[in-house]
Amino acid sequence: MLDFSLPALYQVPSGGNLSDPVHRNAEEHPDVAVLSRKVDGRWQELTSVQFLAEVHAAAKGLIAAGIGPGDRVGIMSRTRYEWTLLDFAIWTAGAITVPVYETSSAEQVEWILGDSGAVAVLTETDQHVKVVAEVRDRLPGLKHTWQIEGGALAALTEAGRDVPDATVQERRSIAGPDDIATIVYTSGTTGRPKGCQLTHGNFLAECGNVVERLAPLFRTGDSSVLLFLPLAHVLGRIAEIAPAMAPIKLGHVSDIKDVTAELAAFKPSLILGVPRVFEKVYNTARAKAQADGKGKIFDKAAETAIAYSRALDAGGAGLVLRLKHAVFDKLVYSKLRAALGGRATHAISGGAPLGERLGHFYRGIGFTVLEGYGLTETCAATAFNPWDKPKIGTVGQPVPGASVRIAEDGEVYFKGPHVFTGYWNNPQATADTLKDGWMATGDLGSLDSEGYLTITGRKKEIIVTAGGKNVAPAVIEDRIRAHALVGEVMVVGDRKPFIACLITVDPDFFPKWKELNGKPAAATVAELADDPDLLAALQTAVDDGNAAVSHAEAVKKFRLLDTEFSEESGHLTPSLKLKRNVVLKDYAAEIEALYRK
């Protein structure tokens, strides 16, 4: 059994809660821009004083509506300025926020609002209103509904006009570090989502220590973050709260398709994303270079960047490599950095593993992606790479103030002030997860001598072949999925003679692939299912995945599916994790065909 811990760099104040940062910012940094929002197509900054005034106005409206201390209030919306405003308003009113993914079905909305006992919900669009209306009669405790696009903020401001400031100050002082700030429902790859109780102290400890450890990336008055992750996901909430604690400027993007344009307009100094975002940036740039007849130059530039980054870990690059790197910096790397806004030198990546090769590529172009790891139950990042000593291929060291343990069977455990207090209304699940103060993650991993953690797989996802070989599918899946043409991949082979996988094509890249390979623009995946060029390209992705594992763990055959795994199809969770049991059931015939002699 191995343990490693780091001392805390930030201590949660006695009596502190998440309404404190916005009030402290208004007192200590009154003229600093802490938010920026799109108004008539342009980014418009708000100072900390202006933001606090809007938070108070909304909080007064909630209080006037009868929202009491500890009441649960749902938010069902895309990532936008109002989400963050309402989150802080709910905490200022002494209540508890319950995030709901904006893509949730009526059944999911009913479960989350019903299980949490929400007394109110704030939706964004007409479609969200319709979904809530479908289940409203089965939610007797739901007293209020407001719609952001239907004038919710104006209605709350008007309703709270007569609420005294003293009442707001009294309300915001009720919650302490041990009180619940939010109930975040895990997207759940099996069964009903469980509500994770995250306290004010959890977030303060998490974000306070992250900001302190990454202090050069959180420079008040200079640094900024553009948030495009869903705020219903705990990683999105960290991207909301950490900037408030620094403070630095925060902007929101509702549609992932607008990210490229908004990066250029907003020019963030720090980007928080998931590996799929960084994979798509790389793959899009490479495809564009190929289309312009510069594919070989891009590939040489990429190899040079990777070699340069690896050399940094081995004492530094030699003269020849430095010269090549300088040439490609002018030809290629500077343009890639410009596409990321031009100011950002670092990104924080979480939610899924980032390939080692991709990590070296980005550091090699002058944009270091600091990979982290965490769960909803650990308030997002429970480990991350430090800015001054990243180890690419690992998920870094534990958050300062936390401890990590590797059990005898390889399972990763964590303990610290950022770890949740339990599952809402589910004492049995809480007891199964929290053991003697340690949280069982369900993930397998290893620690090096400096406390850097490497995640090797998911304990429950281990495949045991007919030959008795234990295989962690995540390692090879992540490598295959990194290929531009691959949408999703799922490794199979439990109690089978060899490892195989199901593959779907990325719908965004497929048109570009057809153009580059002389295929009819209207051709579907089904029509090209036997196309040798398509199969060869997918085999390349599989071969790259196989390079990361032993021969016994390697994929021997794959099956191309003429469909997509998506949240709508029921094969992915809202946080884009595979629902393996659903895929196994729905594609049982395709899996059997892989093993038919």
Inter-residue contact 555 to 476 (CB < 8 Å): yes
Q: Render pLDDT for 355-401 as a digit per residue (tens, 0 to 9).
A: 899 999 999 999 999 999 999 999 999 999 999 999 999 999 999 99
pLDDT at 470: 82
Q: What is the per-residue pLDDT for 140?
A: 95
Contact 492, 451 (CB under 8 A): no
**The pLDDT value given to residue 190:** 56
Determine what percent of the chain is predicted with pLDDT higher than 70: 99
- C-alpha to C-alpha distance for 124 and 12, rounded to whole angstroms: 33
pLDDT at 227: 96
Radius of gyration of the chain (CA): 24
User: Cα(132)–Cα(148) distance, rounded to whole angstroms?
Assistant: 14
pLDDT of residue 578: 87
- Virtual torsion, Cα 395, 396, 402, 404, nearest 10 deg: 70
pLDDT value of position 24: 98
Q: Give the position of tokens 């029509």.
A: 527
**What pLDDT does residue 348 have?**
95
Which residue from 197, 163, 194 is spatially nearest to 181, judged by alpha carbons?
197
Q: How many angstroms separate the CA atoms of 349 and 471, rounded?
A: 25
- pLDDT for the residue numbered 352: 80
How far apart, in whole angstroms, are the C-alpha atoms of residue 269 and residue 159? 38
* Residue 355 near residue 545, CB atoms below 8 Å: no
Answer for the pair 252, 87: CB distance below 8 angstroms, yes or no: no
- Secondary structure class of 501 (helix, strand, coil): strand
**H helix or E strand, kind and range, residue 212:** helix 200-213
Question: How many whole angstroms separate alpha carbon 3 and alpha carbon 201?
Answer: 24
Please report, in angstroms and rounded to a whole number, the separation of the first and last CA atoms in the chain.
44
The identity of residue 216, as a single letter, is: P
* Domain annotation for the chain: domains and CATH numbers: 18-175+227-249 (3.40.50.12780), 275-413+427-458 (3.40.50.12780), 463-595 (3.30.300.30)
Phi-psi region of 301 (alpha: psi -120 to 50; beta: other; left: phi over 0): alpha
Q: Which two tokens stand for residue 143?
A: 């007293």
In 3-state terms, what secondary structure has residue 351? coil
Q: What does the alpha-carbon distance between residue 242 and residue 250 come to, in Å, rounded to a whole number?
A: 10
* CA 242 vs CA 18, 194, 215, 250: distances in Å: 11, 25, 11, 10
Other C-beta atoms lying within 10 Å of the C-beta of residue 512: 18
Summarised one tens digit per residue, pLDDT across range 458-474 is 888 888 888 888 888 88
Show the low-confidence residues of the chain (pLDDT under 70). 187-191
Taking the C-alpha atoms of residue 61 and residue 171, their distance in angstroms, rounded to an integer, is 13
